[in-house]
Amino acid sequence: MDRTIYAKYSNERAAQFCIRTDIVTDESGKRKVYKYALTKAAEPHIRHIGEAYQALAAAYEGSGISFCPAETQISSESGWQTVSADAVNGKLEKCRSASLFLTGTALQDVLERMLDDGDTNGIRHILQNYIRKVKESGGSRPFAVTKEFVEVFGDCVPDGAYDSAEVSDIDMIFSNIFVEKESDALDGGWTVIDYEWTFDFAVPKAFIIYRAIYFAWHQMFYKADISLSELFELAEITQEEAAGFRRMEEHFQDYMGQTHIPVRNMQRLMGTRIVPVDRLLGQSGGMQNTIRQKTNVGRRAERMRVRKLLYHVDRKEYQDGSMVCSGWALAKTWDGRALPVEIRVTDKNGNVIPAEIGRRRRQDVAETLKLRNRAETEFGFDCVWFSQPGEAFRIRFSLGNRESIYEG
């Protein structure tokens, strides 16, 4: 009897891509990985995984890059049966993709340890080896903008400018590449564990390299003295090409999600604000007052109490089609309190820009400013919103009738 020890729902997607991934153990302790369609529309996507394995294994044979085998299974009265993906096309009631649980170490883990150890030569060696392997493996055919390509990636790059593999796994990122032992990370064989996003039409190999480098930088290399432009230069990707690949990625994310908005992006679209409870309840009047009356009383009292606003922007940078600003802000009141403030992002004309605004504790700020009477220390903020490069903005910090504006 299989026992599920891990389950991941990938359901913040278009219906035809919603799946669940389970890791299970059998009675002997052997682990397997199963992927299930969460909707009827996603069953072709599950079948596609088995088809993708066959195509990738053939295209990358002898290259030093292999793929963890996956097979298509259908449910029957006697249990799950393995079949060829094309044999069940249009017939099945329920299907899943089955593969072994691969042991070893992800290249991402190896790179992170090298980063912690300051081993820049080892990092550079792995990156150069990755770039070389992707460029030289998977066969070769000239890139051409097709109808299928435009549907998934948009019309962002020119015809004929790039080399493509016979079949393309665009998710060949470092967290999806495993080695049997860490010493294999430099020159040994690599095994790819997840190739859900594989396409049989031409996709530039340079885009696959771009994605691996882009995600690696944002997940770990940003902490080191390594710029994203340096990594692109190592891969011989120009800034103009990177801009085109960024638009490809944005179009792919839209294709994958379509009208669905991931929970992680909801705040960015809806914005956020702090409404102190005492503002809602007011400082006078009984419980018979209406909420509107209490809110007005609270606002009048707040205007009387706020003495000044303080803020500082520690970080401002453009990433992946979004502006990111981080720092701290607080309000000092006449009665000696320090309070978090409301934060809004607007354009230069004052129109509100929907932003994802995260709050975090900044004990260091409280200690540096010698704040004594503080209700809480969530003075830190991270603001993220969709933006164009160089687009002017304002971050408005306010509480009561006080407002301070940071212009960027």
Q: What is the pLDDT of residues 315-374, one digit of tens each?
A: 888 776 788 888 999 888 887 788 888 999 998 888 888 888 888 888 888 888 888 766
Helix H or strand E encompassing 127: helix 120-136
> What tokens appear for 30 in the block?
């052997």
* Residue scoring higher pLDDT (254 or 376): 254
Both tokens of 320, joined, read 């992946």
Give the C-alpha separation, 280 to 5, whole Å.
46
Q: What pLDDT was estimated at residue 307?
A: 85
Please give the mean pLDDT across all residues of the chain: 82
Judged on CB neighbours under 10 Å (0-12, 13-18, 19+), 78 is exposed
Please determine, for residue 271, whether its predicted confidence score (pLDDT) is greater than 70. Answer: no
Residue 66 banded pLDDT, cuts 50, 70, 90: very high
Token pair recorded at residue 237? 């990707």
pLDDT value of residue 175: 93
Does residue 241 carry a pLDDT above 50?
A: yes
Q: What whole-number distance in Å separates Cα of residue 351 and Cα of residue 63?
A: 54
Residue 220: predicted pLDDT: 87
For 71-101, the pLDDT digits (tens) are 988 887 777 878 775 655 555 458 899 998 9
Decide: residue 287, CB within 10 A, 0-12 exposed, 13-18 middle, 19+ buried.
exposed
**Whole-angstrom distance, CA of residue 301 vs CA of residue 327:** 28
pLDDT of residue 322: 80
Domain boundaries, given as residue ranges, for the chain: 3-100, 118-260, 267-407
**7 bridge partner residues:** 22
Query: Among candidates 270, 80, 60, 76, which has minimal Cα distance to 167?
Result: 60
Per-residue pLDDT at 56 exceeds 70: yes
CATH number given to 267-407:
2.60.40.10
Q: Specify which residues 33 forms β-bridges with.
A: 23, 99
Per-residue pLDDT tens for 297-314? 344 444 447 888 999 998
